[in-house]
């Protein structure tokens, strides 16, 4: 049964990786503002996020971003009921900027502080602007840093079913895109190449399933297979590894086929493990969140899975798939209305509370 929604107005702050974000969320479901400043341009030349650069940029941007979130929501600090921040997981130096800012603001205004889990919040993004979820649900988080499956019996009752033992799916997409010579961050570029070219996944790459009944993921094998498919079999020469060719030697058609093949292998692994989780739990809803949910093949496959199994699929709107603070506001609301608060001694942690 849906309980009446308790009115709340929460400012949430996100700084776990390379996005500085702030949002004002009303009643745990309505987003009054959602401001995101990406740092992609600062990390582009390094081909990945440089932690020191990320935390400095958060520090410079956090004040103006919070101001803008309040302004766009049309509220003052007096209107807030709580301040929340993502406290885990993420880059510790980056997390500390948002957490310290949120705690200082909460303390100075005498407001409750809530430190929330970033990965779990990716799933609750599916609750924004939507009716209540039919529980239990299976939750799939696929992002640049995480690939996890959960069973949820309520918005805050999560049980971790499986996670990646090596690369996250988004990280694998980004690395494969770099191998193909696509610009950073490559996940969306690889998806675009596969989609727009209409290429078939003709190259057989391993679909990593681990043990048949395992709900863990592994993407290192498909990544290595992709490297060899692009550059040929490596050999040792004078103490160095030498490949047969470079990515520039590929014809555009070959490049597109490889992009489609990689996308197919990663999505197939995600969908098969999600199917196993649905069978194991008898869930009525499938929640999917994280940046990789932007992948068009994954979206289509999850839609088909939900139709085939007669369950409701919740994929957040694009703005709430990528890293954002609104999703943290949803989790904070659920905790606030249950009387939960976190002490100001709370600090950031690089891992989730479940340790992965
Ligand atoms: O959730 P997110 O914004 O940040 C993390 O928490 O990591 O996810 C970013 C990740 C990146 O690895 C990016 O390449 C990937 O999501 N991504 C995609 C697509 N759009 C974003 N991967 C595959 N296909 C896409 N369309
Ligand atoms: Zn994320």
Q: Are strands 9-14 and 82-88 parallel, antiparallel or unpaired?
A: parallel
pLDDT tens profile 317-340? 988 999 999 999 999 999 999 999
pTM: 0.92
pLDDT tens profile 25-54? 999 999 999 999 888 888 888 877 888 888
**For ligand 1, atom 11, which residue shows the shortest CA distance?**
144
* Contact 191 CB / ligand 1 (< 6 Å): yes
**For ligand 1, atom 2, which residue shows the shortest CA distance?**
291
Residue with tokens 């863990």: 216
Domains of the chain: 9-129+320-336 (3.30.420.40), 137-316 (3.30.420.40)
Confidence band of 353 (pLDDT split at 50, 70, 90): low
Inform me whether the pLDDT recorded for 210 exceeds 80: no
Confidence band of 3 (pLDDT split at 50, 70, 90): low
Ligand nearest to the CA of 327: 2
* Contact 143 CB / ligand 1 (< 6 Å): yes
Q: What are phi and psi of 335, to 5 degrees?
A: -75, -40
DSSP letters spanning 239-263: TEEE-S--GGGS-HHHHHHHHHHHH
Number of separate helices (H) and strands (E) present in the chain: 11, 12
Residues with Cβ < 8 Å from 310, sequence gap 6 or more? Answer: none
Inform me whether the pLDDT recorded for 23 exceeds 80: yes
**For ligand 1, atom 3, which residue shows the shortest CA distance?**
322
* Contact 18 CB / ligand 1 (< 6 Å): no
* Contact 162 CB / ligand 1 (< 6 Å): no
* Mean pLDDT along residues 290-296: 95
pLDDT tens profile 213-268? 899 999 999 999 999 999 999 999 999 999 999 999 999 999 999 999 999 999 99
Give the pLDDT confidence score for residue 1 in this predicted structure.
43
């Amino acid at each position: 049964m849906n309980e009446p929604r308790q009115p709340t107005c929460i400012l949430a702050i996100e700084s776990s990786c390379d996005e500085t974000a702030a949002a004002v969320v009303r009643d745990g479901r309505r987003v009054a503002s959602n401001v995101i400043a990406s740092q992609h341009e600062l990390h582009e030349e390094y081909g990945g996020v440089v932690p020191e650069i990320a935390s400095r940029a958060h520090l410079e941007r956090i004040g103006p971003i919070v101001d803008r979130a309040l302004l766009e929501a049309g509220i003052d600090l007096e209107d807030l009921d709580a301040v929340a921040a993502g406290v885990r997981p993420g880059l510790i130096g980056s997390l500390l900027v948002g957490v310290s800012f949120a705690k200082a603001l909460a303390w100075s205004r005498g407001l409750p502080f809530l430190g929330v889990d970033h990965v779990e919040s990716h799933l609750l993004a599916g609750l924004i602007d939507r009716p209540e979820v039919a529980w239990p649900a299976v939750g799939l988080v696929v992002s640049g840093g995480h690939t996890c499956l959960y069973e949820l019996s309520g918005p805050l009752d999560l049980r971790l079913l499986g996670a990646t033992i090596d690369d996250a799916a988004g990280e694998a997409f980004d690395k494969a895109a770099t191998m193909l010579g696509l610009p950073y961050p490559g996940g969306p570029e690889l998806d675009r190449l596969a989609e727009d070219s209409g290429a078939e996944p003709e190259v057989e790459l391993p679909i990593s399933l681990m043990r048949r009944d395992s709900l863990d993921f592994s993407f290192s094998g498909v990544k290595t297979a992709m490297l060899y498919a692009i550059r040929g079999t490596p050999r040792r020469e004078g103490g160095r590894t030498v490949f047969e060719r470079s990515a520039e030697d590929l014809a555009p058609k070959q490049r597109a086929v490889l992009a489609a093949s990689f996308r197919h292998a990663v999505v197939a692994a995600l969908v098969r493990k999600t199917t196993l989780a649905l069978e194991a739990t008898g869930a009525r809803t499938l929640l999917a969140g994280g940046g990789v949910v932007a992948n068009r093949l994954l979206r289509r496959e999850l839609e088909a899975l939900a139709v085939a199994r007669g369950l409701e699929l919740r994929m957040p709107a694009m703005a709430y798939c990528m890293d954002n603070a609104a999703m943290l506001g949803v989790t904070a609301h659920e905790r606030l209305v249950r009387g939960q608060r976190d002490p100001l001694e709370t600090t950031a942690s690089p891992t989730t509370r479940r340790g992965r």
